[in-house]
Amino acid sequence: MAKPDAAVEGVRNVFLKLRTRSGLNVERLSATEVDVALLAELPVVRRYAREHAVSTDQAIVDVVTRVTADLEPTDRLIADAVLALGVLDDLLSEQPKLQGLYADDLGERRNALAQHWAAYHRLLGVTDVPPAPTVRTLRGSIEARALVRLAERCVHSPEASLLEPATDSREPSNSIVVVGGAVTDVVVVSDDLPGIGAAVQATSFEEHPGGKGLNLAVAARRFGLRARLCAAIGGDEAARELTRYMQQEGLSTELIRTTPGEANPRALMLVTQRGETRYLGWMNKGKVSLSTTEFEQPRTKRAIADADAVLITLEPPVETVQWALDTAARQSPKPLVLLQASPPMETPQQLYRHLHGVDYLVGREGELRGLLSYPGRPDSVDALAEELLTLGVETVCVVENFGAKIRTRNRSRDIEGPNVPLEDTPGAREAFSAALTFQLLKDGGDLTSDALEWAIQAMTVNLTLEEITDSMPGTEDVDRLWKKSDVENP
């Protein structure tokens, strides 16, 4: 009998210890008691860390993920699920029933693998699917054999392509990542807003899935884009309702960070019958937060690397917004980057040196003024835009009253909003941003007059004061209104 390879056995044993809980990721490596020195000392890991200028922990995750992606389909599935690497993320993005493969708990991952064995294989193009294992046999010899094969590849000269930077030749995939918030909207509608010490009676009170990030992701998905939302939610029933809603909308949830046992963030909106809105947000930031460590996760890094557009709101903590802007700007080729200037920030100066990669900055005039250290000083929209452009932004979009004022360094255009019975609605800017992104990706990045006017129309398709996220339009909705507008204004 052949003598066991000590190096392979050692690496395999490390994998066996790391397969528990959330699997192999940078956050786990930085906190685990498992001795990962054998992985850190692998020649391919040391070389990858040096040539890609990343930490050793990141190099371990990247190398193991890439080696796993080159295994035979069955071994690939098993190693991917056991270590929760996310190799199949793209294939699972529109398969909500199959996404248990990357659950935080190893038992849940095993259950998903056994239950959907044939479906996973078919996603990989396998027609002659091997017999499905039970959870018990997976836990026994099957996982161990797959991890031996993974260890062999890691130890014995994996493909040189692992060390090559990604090329710039990929075709657009209409894939976008939204970095923002997913909250429970509490919407109160009344005829008037109360003054200090006064009381008015509401005409309606409703709770719905919401958040600017979720609005953007839902709208983008309805426009046919492959949208992924990166956000933090709690672990209560409201959070579970949000997850169910995302799955219902066909949104991938692999970039959603869940905090078990914690209350989901809420947003209270006081809305008048004219559409005037007052917001009071509670993000539960002490317990529920999208931290910068999320951007070290392999699945998040791959999602942004593969994205044609990255849309960011100011809902996450400022350091996370900074990280998202910088991560998107460093990609090659660089994706389209849109920043939505809401909700207000206490210290907007912290963003200034990170704005150089922003292609489109979108917000109400007041929201955009809030990004300046002296918001009252610019006496016009042109002066406001000029200061924001000086910070590195390519295009400023002042969007309110269902119209838009567009400013670049060499272009200025004002588009009046259509005549509608409301002054504004919550979610109007998210509909505009998602529609504009859709048009820009379709037109190869060109900002055409038709693209702008189509995005304007998107804000007025499903006018509502209550169901904000669910009112996000789809392509057919906007096209129908667009054609009607063409007929009325030949």
- Which domain CATH number covers 388? 3.40.1190.20
Q: Are residues 93 and 207 in the same domain?
A: no
Q: Are residues 210 and 82 in the same domain?
A: no
Domain membership flag for residue 169: no
Q: What is the pLDDT of residue 258?
A: 86
Q: Are residues 129 and 155 in the same domain?
A: yes
Mean pLDDT of 366-373: 92
Domain membership flag for residue 168: no
Q: Are residues 463 and 387 in the same domain?
A: yes
Q: What is the pLDDT of residue 213?
A: 95
Q: What is the pLDDT of residue 103?
A: 86
Q: What is the pLDDT of residue 440?
A: 95
Q: Are residues 182 and 159 in the same domain?
A: no
Listed residues 135, 163, 191: the one ending a domain: 163
Listed residues 163, 184, 217: the one ending a domain: 163
Q: What is the pLDDT of residue 165?
A: 45
Q: What is the pLDDT of residue 429?
A: 93
Q: What is the pLDDT of residue 185?
A: 86
Q: What Å distances lie between residue 397 and 344, 346, 356, 362, 482, CA to CA?
A: 16, 22, 16, 5, 21
Domain membership flag for residue 103: yes
Q: Are residues 208 and 95 in the same domain?
A: no
Listed residues 163, 184, 204: the one ending a domain: 163
- Asked whether the predicted pLDDT for residue 28 surpasses 50, the reply is yes
- Asked whether the predicted pLDDT for residue 239 surpasses 80, the reply is yes
Q: How many domains does the chain fold into?
A: 2
- Asked whether the predicted pLDDT for residue 257 surpasses 60, the reply is yes
Domain membership flag for residue 170: no
Q: Are residues 274 and 414 in the same domain?
A: yes
pLDDT digits (tens, 9 = 90+) for 265-315: 898 878 787 767 777 888 888 788 888 877 777 778 888 988 999 999 999
Instruction: Give the pLDDT band of residue 194 (cuts 50, 70, 90).
Output: confident
Mean pLDDT of 168-193: 80
Domain membership flag for residue 470: yes
Q: What is the pLDDT of residue 488?
A: 52
pLDDT averaged over the chain?
85
Instruction: Give the pLDDT band of residue 484 (cuts 50, 70, 90).
Output: low
Q: Are residues 152 and 286 in the same domain?
A: no
Instruction: Give the pLDDT band of residue 425 (cuts 50, 70, 90).
Output: confident
| Percent of the chain predicted with pLDDT > 90 | 38
Mean pLDDT of 93-111: 82
Mean pLDDT of 443-467: 84
Domain membership flag for residue 477: yes
Instruction: Give the pLDDT band of residue 48 (cuts 50, 70, 90).
Output: confident
Q: Are residues 240 and 383 in the same domain?
A: yes
Domain membership flag for residue 371: yes
Q: Are residues 120 and 215 in the same domain?
A: no
Domain membership flag for residue 456: yes
Q: Are residues 180 and 156 in the same domain?
A: no
Cβ-based neighbours of 16, under 8 Å, separated by 6 or more = 143, 144, 147
Q: Are residues 198 and 299 in the same domain?
A: yes
- Asked whether the predicted pLDDT for residue 367 surpasses 90, the reply is yes
Domain with 16 in it:
6-163
- Asked whether the predicted pLDDT for residue 169 surpasses 70, the reply is no
